[in-house]
Each structure stands twice: as C-alpha cells, then as structure tokens.
Chain A
C-alpha cells in the first residue's frame, strides 16, 4: 500500500507568527551589514547634508510670509522620497538577488517556511528601517538645519499615508525586480542605474519644475515622482504647489499611481518569485 504517512498538521496562524520572527531576523542582519547601512540607510542623510551645505547660498523661493526657503527645507521632501526608494526598491532587490545567488533562498525553500512569511519579513524590515531613516532625516533637518516642520496634523496624516503606501510599493517592486539580475554578483550593477535614473528624472536631485515637459510626463509614469510630490505637499509652503504639474499637489494622483504600482508589483511577485530557478 502506498498511503501517505500521517503528517503532523502545521498550526494555523503560523505564517503570520513566522513572518514576525522573520522581521526581527531581517532587521538584525540588515544592521549587521556595513555596506547596506551606508548605501541605503544613511545615503539620503548624507545627500541632505551635502546639498544643504553646498547650496546654502542658493535661492529656492519664498514662503507666503516672505521668509526664504533654505536648501535643507527644499531637499528634505526629496530625500524622504529617495529614502523610500533606496530602503525599499534598491535595498530589497539587491538583497533578494544576493540571497538567491548565495544559497540562502535555496535553504529556505527546502524548509517549511511559507513564502508569505518570507515576504512579510522583508517588507517589515523595509518599514522598520524606513521609519528609522525618516525619523533620523526629520530630526537632523529640524535640529541641525533649522527646517521648520509642519504643525498641522492634517499634513502629518498625509505624510503617514504617503510614507506607508510608498514604502510598501517600493518594497514590493524591489521583490519583483530581484528576478532581473542573473546573479547575485551582478545585482548592484543592474539595479543601481535604474534607481539612479529614476531619482534624477523624478525631482529628487534636480528641481522637478525645471525639467522639460516631456521628461516630466515620462517621469509621471513611475511612482517616485508622485512620492516626491506627496512629500513636497507636506514639507513645502502651500504656495509652492504652483510649481507642480497642473499647479496643484494632486494627492489623488499620488494615491492612484502609487496604488497601481503596488498592485502591479504584487502581481509580478506572485508570478515571478521562485525560491530557486529550477533546472539552472
């Protein structure tokens, strides 16, 4: 007789419990890797510092009351958006491609860890490190560069949803993009140009309003432009919305485009993610 041997039932709810245990494990290993801490975690802070110092004499416009907007104030929302992209998309895709290459995923794939728990761990790690990164940026901006932070709770509510939606979308897209590099070693070379170009065309390093209209339209396909716009709506004076496409903050557009990318990313993960490339 070839009946299956009685298997112990795995307890219900273990996907979530293991996901939580993965978050702790992922956050711990993230901070133990010197290079990821430098290139993704501290990167926006370093750039905020460089821009604030280098362009301290530059002119970035005035508030309604006539006060000058400083370089630090102008670049803070851009760096917050860049942080989401780096912690989410860049870090996640390189990390997973490396884990695919070095056998981490093969080992996990042979264990009874649910794929969903692995994803929860990765996304949780991005959310935790993203929160710490943003908090650090806000504290340094406020304390060292005297950037006035908003006092209106509605602004912080906008910040909260743009942050959460942005960080989840970037994390999910990072997982999907990890399928792109053919090996762990080529991951950095494949991913960094993508994120670098996105940052240049989406108004992170260059002022978005000064880009040609066709480039603005092209950048509007991708989520980073919208995340940066959402962040500007929180941290820049309301009068600055005149510089945006269509002259409004268009938060509805931010929510819509980012959500579309979140759904596309989830679909791509579902369709492309494999513990290992079978038969390679």
Chain B
C-alpha cells in the first residue's frame, strides 16, 4: 500500500461570474514534501490555497486534504492543519505568550509555547502586547500560531512579505526545522529565492492555470537553463544560447584575436526561467484573445 498524498487536487476551478480565478489546476503533494506555488499577483495562488484550507468552496473539480474534502472538513480535520493567512489586522490586546497559550489549548497535542516563541525569535517580546509589535514581528506571531498545534500539513500564504533579509533567512531556518520533523508544507510566494530555498517542488500559476510543475531544478525544462553568452562587437550587442559556451568564447577570441567587449556567460536563474514562463503565458493569452476578437 502506498501512502496517499496529503494534498490532491484535480481540475480545480473557481468561477466568479465570467471570471475564472482558478481554471483547471491539478497537483499532488506527498507527505513530508514542501510544495511552492509561484505566480504573479492575482494569478490564483491565494484562491487555490483558501479552497484547500476550507475557506472557499470550489466551483468544480476535486480536492482532498489529508484524505478529507476541505468543503466538509470538521474540527478533527482542522486540528491537523496549520494555517498562516496572508494578512491580519487583529486588535492584538493580548501578549504574544497569552495568545499562543490560548491557541495551544485548541489542539490535542500542541507544541510547547515557549519553544515555539523561541523558534520564531520572539522570546524577548513574549510579554509584549501583539499590537505593540512591528509588522515583521506580528508576522512571526502568525507563523507561531500556525505551528503551535503541531500540524501535519502547514499552509503558508506569502509568509515573508514585509520581512527584512535577515528575518527572511531566520524564517527559512524555522521552516527547514519543520521540514526535518516531517511536516508537509504548501507555500505560496512571489519570491523565487524563497521557493528555491525551501521547495522540493514548485508549480507556476498564471491566469488561474498551472503552467508548469516540477522539481525546482527542472522547472521550465532543460532548454530554459541553456547558458547565454553575450558580447559586444561593431554591430552592437550579440547574444547566443549554447550548451557549449566555452567553445563559443574560444571561437570568438580566435576570430578576432582580441578580448570581446562586455563578455558575459550566464546560466539562467530560477527567476529568469520563471519570468520567461509567465511572459510566454501572457503572450499566448494575448494572441488567443486577439485571434478570438478578429474572428
């Protein structure tokens, strides 16, 4: 018997009037895996994650989270989830410790309150009212509340928006420790480095469609990672994609006998691959629309 996936989504759709916010998305997340959902703002990331959290009802398709349809998830199902929402503006009239101790009481097998506070780096703020904290510190309280119940599956919706680089690195460390404990994680982000740092696999969503899915090194296919050689000659900037950049550069030198101007050899980063994917998708959409209009 194989272990069933913790999250399984088939042909998921969410329609608002004529607008399809999510338009036929399918993916699985295996137990212990960290899956990153990437995409520009308004692409459908949050709608997808909120359907899986049980906050929104889908229009059609199938979804299963920890073996349960999220539209029918009861309290025992919720006790196994951790949810970090996109943004909150609660009044925060309680201290960090009071809030965590209170929420810990909701769960059958919670983590130790002080350990969680330490893990998110708020030990010194444990006795401060939440409303007196900075935006980044409040976000850490959100994350602490998401993990206090020792979830099997953790949803993180743009968890590090508004973090400074150091806080982001500390946060990644925290997520890695949760991964080591075997927590399954679904993360949405528009920071590519975050997906690369934390994700085992990633899906790219644009216009409500999953346009790419795979391990972080595979996304966009091998071709998208073909190195690019750039240099300048009398005709201006030249660019060539080749799997043998060293030979190309040697050939250039042999032909002219001088150092080529502005020589650069680059392997496309995840960000380049991602931007190319999203750009290609947008062009395709536009072309289709133009085609439809001309008919």
Contacts and interface: CB of A to CB of B under 8 A. Distances in A.
Given A8-B108, A21-B102, A102 B76 contact: no
A5 B106 contact: no
A161 interface: no
Contact of A103 (B1, B75, B88, B152): B88
B53 interface: yes
Contacts of A99: 90
Contacts of B106: 18, 111-113
Contacts of B56: 278-279
A150 B108 CA distance: 50
Interface stretch (A25-33, A138-146, A218-226): A25-33
A110 B55 CA distance: 8
Contact of A33 (B4, B90, B93): B93
Interface string A4-46: 1101111100000010010001001100110000000000000
B227 interface: no
A223 to B, nearest CB: 29
A25 B95 CA distance: 11
A110 B78 contact: yes
B153 to A, nearest CB: 10
Interface stretch (B64-72, B171-179, B233-241): B64-72
Interface string B1-27: 110100010000000100000000000
Nearest to A9: B76
Interface string A57-100: 00000000000000000000000000000000000000000110
Given A5-B66, A10-B75, A103-B87, A110 B53 contact: yes
B64 A2 contact: yes
B126 interface: no
Contacts of B152: 5
Nearest to B105: A21
Contacts of B54: 110
B78 to A, nearest CB: 4
B75 A112 contact: yes
Interface in B62-101: 64, 66-68, 75-81, 83, 85, 87-91, 93-94, 98
Contact-residue size bin, chain B (C-beta under 8 Å from the other chain): 35 or more
* Of B16, B77, B102, most A-chain CB atoms within 10 Å: B102
Given A3-B4, A10-B108, A107 B149 contact: no
A154 interface: no
B103 A106 contact: no
A103 B68 CA distance: 25
Given A8-B109, A112-B75, A29 B93 contact: yes
A114 interface: yes
A154 to B, nearest CB: 42
A114 B79 CA distance: 11
Contact of B55 (A29, A104, A113, A278): A278
B212 interface: no
B1 A102 contact: no
Interface residues of A, number: 33
Contacts of A149: none
Contact of A29 (B83, B94, B145): B94
A103 B89 contact: yes
Nearest to B59: A279
A103 B89 CA distance: 6
Contacts of B102: 21, 25
B57 interface: yes
B108 A33 contact: no
Contacts of B129: 32
Interface string A118-150: 000000000000000000000000000000000
A111 B149 contact: yes
A267 B221 CA distance: 57
B90 A4 contact: no
A2 to B, nearest CB: 5
Contacts of B78: 110-112
A197 interface: no
A4 B79 contact: no
B68 A33 contact: no
A110 B87 contact: no
B107 A112 contact: yes
A271 interface: no
A91 B98 CA distance: 23
A92 to B, nearest CB: 15
A253 interface: no
Interface in B41-67: 53-57, 64, 66-67
A10 B90 contact: no
Contacts of A9: 76
B193 to A, nearest CB: 28
Interface of B: 1-2, 4, 8, 16, 53-57, 64, 66-68, 75-81, 83, 85, 87-91, 93-94, 98, 102-103, 105-109, 129, 145, 149, 152
16 contacts: A1-B1, A1-B2, A2-B67, A5-B4, A5-B66, A5-B67, A18-B106, A28-B93, A29-B93, A110-B55, A110-B83, A110-B85, A111-B103, A112-B149, A279-B16, A279-B56
- Kindly list the 6 A-B residue pairs having the minimum CB-CB distance in the complex, ordered from nearest: A4-B67, A103-B88, A112-B79, A110-B83, A32-B93, A112-B78
